[in-house]
Structure 1
Amino acid sequence: MEKLTNQRCVPCEGGIPPMTKEEAEEYLSQVPSWRIVDDEGILKLNKTFKFNNFRESWQFFDRIAELAESEGHHPDISVHYNRVIVTLFTYAIKGLFLNDFIMAAKIEEILKELQKGHR
């Protein structure tokens, strides 16, 4: 399995089935701090990130927004003072697709970069 951070998101126009939970769990091994949630029958990836303050949370949000634009794949993001909640799934197929895992892996890379900068 190719490393997720080496891949790019590809447009998903629908017409294909979403990943099964079993398929999604195979990719989850590359982003183990994320969790698969079942939201009324739609599988999604979810993670809450914690920061020291609002500025750090917002800086992280900004970087995710830049990534989302460059990849053409946009997560649901909530910012709450020192927490950022990110939910990924593919709207066109109402479930998980490879793009969601690519984004999760790249978001983890952003976190690592920001943590290096705050030391």
Structure 2
Amino acid sequence: MSELKSESCEACRADAPEVTGKELDTLSADLPDWVVVTRDGERQLERVFRFRNFAEALAFTNKVGELAESEGHHPALLTEYGKVTVHWWTHKIGGLHRNDFIMAARTDDLAH
């Protein structure tokens, strides 16, 4: 399991640097179940979590929501029967920040 989950998120400013290059490769390697996708011109982390039914998917969605509220950093969540798709990215910079990788690692931890 990634050590990212134990890191603290930092307050992000509009001029914060986006994760790129070697740092992106290193952080992505720590989260092999997540993929970097581009949606609406912004790079985001995406992962689909699978569950036995809608109730389990909804319970997981609520856990991710509580995590997001506690950090003031909010993903896009799509809850369906038996699965939840999570997208993390930093709205202020329109792309990926280290915080997104920390939150993805914490999301993984919630699923276990």
Q: Tell me the TM-score normalized by structure 2.
A: 0.91
Q: Distance in 1 between matches of 2:74 and 2:18?
A: 17
**Where do 4+ consecutive residues of structure 1 move more than 4 Å?**
none
Q: Which amino acid aligns with 2:53?
A: N
- Say if 2:85 is the partner of 1:111: no
Aligned partner of 2:87 in structure 1 is 87
Q: Which amino acid aligns with 1:68?
A: A
- Match of 1:44, SS state, is strand
Contact 1:21/1:43 (CA < 8 Å) preserved in 2? no
CA positional deviation for 1:70: 1.1
Structure 2 Cα separation of the partners of residues 41 and 66 of structure 1: 28
Structure 2 gaps of 5+ residues are none
Identity %: 37
Alignment of 1:53-68 (within 5 A): 53-68=53-68
Bigger radius of gyration, 1 or 2?
1
Partner of 1:97 in structure 2? Answer: 97
CA drift at 1:22: 4.0
Corresponding residue of 2:71: 71
CA distance in 2, matches of 1:71, 1:8: 9
2:36 matched residue in structure 1: 36
Q: How many residues align?
A: 111
Q: CA RMSD in A?
A: 1.5
Q: What are the ranges of 5 or more consecutive residues in structure 1 without an aligned counterpart?
A: 113-119
CA distance in structure 2 between the aligned counterparts of 1:58 and 1:40, rounded to whole angstroms: 26
